[in-house]
Amino acid sequence: MNDEEQLPEPVVSPDLYNEDYYRRSCAGSAEWESSGGAEVASIYPGMLKLARLQPGEVVVDIGTGRGELLAVAIEQGAARAVGVEYAPAAVTLAEQTLRVHGVTDRAEVILADARSIPLDDDSADLVTMIDVVEHLSHEELDRCLREALRILRVGGRIFVHTMPNKTIYNVTYKIQRAIVPGRRRRWPADPRLHELEHQMHVNEQTVASLRRYIKRAGFRDARARLGRWIYTDFVPDERARLLYHRLSRIPVLNRFGIADLYGEGSKK
């Protein structure tokens, strides 16, 4: 980390990630809002299980949002958990989460840019990035992953989850729209439903592109794979939605139906 280096302004302004977004729009908001931060969505323990969190490890969660992953990590035996977040609204909510879970002695959230993380070299065992990759431009993601590598100890791991697999938008949807009579007129050209997607999703991934990013950052055993989530809310016709489910069950075609991706690597 170079404290004196001036970073360009983020491609997506942190002002877009306001309190309303975290309370209503992003994953796990319903559970958090209804419980004041005491209840967490199953995605967070599920991600830590897939990331193979071990007792006594130090976890750094980049783009921590409301901080649920930090609280769960401590409750599952992590020695320390640090959240990195550039949106002030999220930091306030994450601090509430940590207080409600009684883990402020072992977990904290810091207001910082993911391209320049104020943590020491070789200080973490596991770095997580849950639904963050798609919000970072090409240059931002490259730099963020290099920062993740820097703060990891030798043998430490990075664990990434991102969605959507842009193939379901750019290939499957467009082919469906093009080949069936009438759909070109009835279906929107861009399947993204929400304005937030247009504003925030600046770097959607495929399996191949996510693997390349992780490898280019210097991680050993860089790999990416499809998840299991079938997302079809954006498909206008009920019958057309069935195609995604069918494709997801065919190994050579499943990338055209499955929405989410995982990426992993380790430090040499």
Q: Is residue 145 part of a domain?
A: yes
- Predicted pLDDT of residue 4: 52
Q: Give the Å distances, CA to CA, from 19 to 12, 30, 104, 144.
A: 16, 14, 21, 24
- Predicted pLDDT of residue 79: 98
Q: How many domains does the chain fold into?
A: 1
Q: Is residue 118 part of a domain?
A: yes
- Predicted pLDDT of residue 193: 86
Q: Is residue 130 part of a domain?
A: yes
Q: Is residue 143 part of a domain?
A: yes
Sheet holding 58-62, edge to edge: 107-111, 80-85, 58-62, 124-130, 152-162, 261-266, 220-226
Alpha-carbon distance of 253 to 57, in angstroms, equals 37
- Predicted pLDDT of residue 73: 98
- Predicted pLDDT of residue 261: 98
Say if CB 147 and CB 122 are below 8 A apart: no
Q: Tokens standing for 73?
A: 């990590």
- Predicted pLDDT of residue 3: 53
Alpha-carbon distance of 267 to 140, in angstroms, equals 20
Per the confidence metrics, is the pTM higher than 0.85? yes
> Using N-to-C axis directions, what is the helix angle for 68-75 and 43-50, rounded to 10°?
60
Kind plus residue range of the DSSP H or E element containing 58: strand 58-62
Range of the domain at 79: 14-165+203-230+259-266
AA identity, residue 46: G
- Predicted pLDDT of residue 20: 97
Q: Is residue 220 part of a domain?
A: yes
pLDDT, one tens digit per residue, over 92-128 is: 999 999 999 999 999 999 999 999 999 999 999 999 9
Q: Give the Å distances, CA to CA, from 196 to 10, 49, 259.
A: 16, 29, 18
Q: Give the three-state DSSP class for 124.
A: strand
- Predicted pLDDT of residue 111: 98
Alpha-carbon distance of 252 to 38, in angstroms, equals 42
Alpha-carbon distance of 66 to 22, in angstroms, equals 7
Q: Which residues of the chain fall short of a pLDDT of 50?
A: 2
DSSP conformational letter for 168: I
Q: Is residue 24 part of a domain?
A: yes
Cis peptide before 164 (omega within 30 of 0): yes
If one counts every other C-beta atom within 10 angstroms of the C-beta of residue 225, the result is 13
Alpha-carbon distance of 137 to 201, in angstroms, equals 9
Q: Is residue 186 part of a domain?
A: no
CATH number at residue 85: 3.40.50.150
Q: Is residue 52 part of a domain?
A: yes
